[in-house]
């Protein structure tokens, strides 16, 4: 029998059978060690084969079917274990807020670079727009047009007023979409607005350090009544990049990828080489200085605990 993993706690899994029924499952013993470098061999979105115990309404997962794709992050630069956030997704949206809490462009760019690495279409949902006024409003508009111009789909939403939720809903139709982002940005609140029946737990951010309080604890996949699936995930502090080759980083910045063939050297790092098309575009203002700075930081492996 086959099913779709809708929740993964690391020790047990919720699996949706083809008739829509959901049953808790464990893993067949030997599967646990198959891929020891990830924290769990089974992720939300995985299609699995299982043995169904009809008397107890439980199952045992015995095989994960081949994934179309997946997205992995490391929790910190030094951690050995990587974590499969989700598998078989059509698109990954970062929920970002400019305030309460603040999402840095460094974090946004590391998320986008990861999505590019896995060839997963990415988007940015700027949430809590009801709180943006004055300078924040201007900053929001700058970032919205910057990332749109690079080719990422951008949304401006408020889970309080409902602003922009309709456009977002259109983009989610018939797709499986991952929501990621810091704790407290409103991932669950936006999903509740889209699908009120879910009644997902949300919580106010801490008044003490103005950050989220990690309300959602496990990734979970939900069916949207308009068609499609959405994956809510626990807030993450950092989007750790998994091992990558330095030569590949520029390719994951679409605006660099588009022009780097014009560099004089085909192994150009776009840092110090003469006749570099990327540096030229940067000087002409065609490549954003902040994006370029984040590119350099990724190359230097200098992405942990950054707050810019
Ligand atoms: N003003 C305002 N508050 C919002 C908005 N969206 C969410 N919130 C509030 O922000 C707080 C955090 O929202 P959650 O949905 O719990 O955030 P989350 O991203 O799911 O957080 P974790 O589950 O911890 O990762 C709650 O108090 C929400 O009511 C918004 O658009 N505007
Ligand atoms: Mg949540
Ligand atoms: Zn170059």
Kindly state whether residue 307 falls inside one of the protein's structural domains: no
Q: Which atom of ligand 1 is nearest to the CA of 127?
A: 31
> Domain boundary residue among 47, 64, 81?
64
Residue 119 sits in the same domain as residue 24: no
Q: Angle at CA 159, nearest 5°, toward 294 and 147? A: 25
Kindly state whether residue 240 falls inside one of the protein's structural domains: no
Residues 156-183: pLDDT tens digits?
999 999 999 999 999 999 999 999 999 9
Q: Cα(190)–Cα(167) distance, rounded to whole angstroms?
A: 12
Residue nearest atom 3 of ligand 1, based on CA coordinates:
128
What backbone phi and psi angles, to 5 degrees, belong to 13?
Answer: -135, 145
Residue 189 sits in the same domain as residue 109: yes
Residue nearest atom 9 of ligand 1, based on CA coordinates:
186
Give the pair of three-digit tokens for residue 268: 């150009």
Residue 75 sits in the same domain as residue 21: no
Residue 173 sits in the same domain as residue 277: no
Which ligand is the nearest neighbour of the Cα of 264? 3
Residue 77 sits in the same domain as residue 222: yes
Residue 251 sits in the same domain as residue 228: no
Residue 292 sits in the same domain as residue 265: yes
Kindly state whether residue 239 falls inside one of the protein's structural domains: no
Ligand 1 pocket mutation, candidates 137, 200, 202, 236, criterion most atoms within 8 A of CB: 202
Q: Cα(124)–Cα(96) distance, rounded to whole angstroms?
A: 7
Q: Which atom of ligand 1 is nearest to the CA of 235?
A: 25
Give every CB contact of residue 144 below 8 A, 6+ residues apart in sequence.
126, 154, 156
Residue 39 sits in the same domain as residue 165: no
Kindly state whether residue 287 falls inside one of the protein's structural domains: yes
Contact 109, 76 (CB under 8 A): no
Mean pLDDT (whole number) for 188-213: 94
Residue 246 confidence (pLDDT): 86
pTM for the full predicted model: 0.95
Residues 211-258: pLDDT tens digits?
998 999 999 999 999 999 999 999 998 877 777 788 899 999 999 999
Give 78's pLDDT tier (boundaries 50, 70, 90). low
Kindly state whether residue 305 falls inside one of the protein's structural domains: no
Residue 247 confidence (pLDDT): 86
Kindly state whether residue 237 falls inside one of the protein's structural domains: no
Residue 142 sits in the same domain as residue 183: yes
Residue nearest atom 27 of ligand 1, based on CA coordinates:
204
Residue nearest atom 14 of ligand 1, based on CA coordinates:
186
Contact 249, 113 (CB under 8 A): yes
Residue nearest atom 22 of ligand 1, based on CA coordinates:
183
Residues 258-305: pLDDT tens digits?
999 999 999 999 999 999 999 999 999 999 999 999 999 999 886 554
Q: How many structural domains comprise the chain?
A: 3
Residue 29 confidence (pLDDT): 80
> Domain boundary residue among 232, 262, 291?
232
Which of 35-39, 147-151, 198-202 has the weakest average pLDDT?
Answer: 35-39
Q: Is 243 exposed, middle or buried (0-12, 13-18, 19+ CB in 10 A)?
A: exposed
Residue 199 sits in the same domain as residue 150: yes
Kindly state whether residue 198 falls inside one of the protein's structural domains: yes
> Domain boundary residue among 181, 197, 232?
232
* Strand 58-64 with 22-27, pairing: parallel
Closest residue by Cα to residue 114 from 233, 238, 239 = 239
Q: Which atom of ligand 1 is nearest to the CA of 129?
A: 31
What is the whole-number distance in angstroms between the Cα of residue 7 and the centre of ligand 2? Answer: 14
CATH of the domain at 267: 1.10.40.50
pLDDT at 306 over 50: no
Residue 127 sits in the same domain as residue 170: yes
Give 82's pLDDT tier (boundaries 50, 70, 90). confident
CATH of the domain at 201: 3.40.50.300
Domain that holds residue 41: 2-64
Task: Work out the angle between the directed axes of helices 105-117 and 289-299 (0-180°, nearest 10).
Answer: 70
Give every CB contact of residue 195 below 8 A, 6+ residues apart in sequence.
222, 224, 225, 230
Give 209's pLDDT tier (boundaries 50, 70, 90). confident
Give every CB contact of residue 259 below 8 A, 6+ residues apart in sequence.
277, 278, 281
Ligand 1 pocket mutation, candidates 125, 192, 198, 203, criterion most atoms within 8 A of CB: 203
> Which residues have C-beta atoms less than 6 Å from ligand 1?
127-128, 130-131, 158-160, 181, 183-189, 202-205, 212, 214-216, 234-235
Q: Could you tell me how far CA 140 lies from the centroid of its own chain?
A: 20
Which of 28-37, 47-56, 135-144, 287-296 has the weakest average pLDDT?
Answer: 28-37
Closest residue by Cα to residue 150 from 273, 38, 254, 248 = 254
């Amino acid at each position: 029998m086959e099913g779709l993993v809708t929740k993964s706690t690391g020790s047990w899994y919720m699996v949706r059978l083809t008739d829509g029924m959901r049953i808790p499952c464990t893993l067949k013993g030997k599967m646990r060690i198959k891929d020891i470098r990830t924290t769990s061999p089974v992720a939300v979105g995985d299609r699995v084969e299982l043995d169904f115990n009809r008397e107890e309404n439980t199952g045992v997962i015995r095989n994960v079917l081949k994934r179309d794709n997946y997205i992995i992050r490391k929790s910190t630069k030094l951690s050995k274990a990587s974590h499969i956030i989700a598998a078989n997704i059509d698109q990954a949206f970062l929920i970002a807020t400019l305030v309460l809490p603040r999402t840095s462009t460094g974090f946004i760019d590391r998320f986008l670079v990861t999505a590019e690495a896995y060839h997963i279409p990415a988007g940015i949902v700027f949430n809590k727009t009801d709180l943006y006024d004055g300078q924040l409003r201007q900053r929001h508009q700058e970032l919205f047009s910057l990332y749109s111009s690079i080719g990422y789909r951008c949304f401006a939403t408020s889970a309080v007023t409902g602003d922009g939720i309709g456009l977002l809903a259109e983009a989610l139709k018939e797709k499986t979409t991952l929501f990621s982002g810091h704790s407290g940005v409103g991932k669950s609140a936006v999903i509740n607005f889209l699908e009120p029946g879910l009644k997902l737990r949300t919580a106010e951010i801490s008044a003490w350090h103005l950050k989220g309080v990690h309300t959602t604890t496990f990734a979970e996949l939900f069916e949207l009544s308009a068609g499609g699936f959405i994956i809510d995930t626990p807030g993450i502090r950092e989007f750790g990049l998994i091992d990558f080759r330095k030569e590949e980083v520029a390719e994951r910045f679409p605006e660099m990828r588009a022009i780097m063939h014009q560099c004089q050297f085909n192994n150009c790092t776009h840092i110090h080489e003469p006749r570099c098309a990327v540096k030229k575009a940067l000087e002409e203002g065609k490549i954003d200085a902040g994006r370029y700075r984040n590119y350099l930081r990724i190359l230097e492996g200098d992405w942990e605990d950054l707050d810019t």
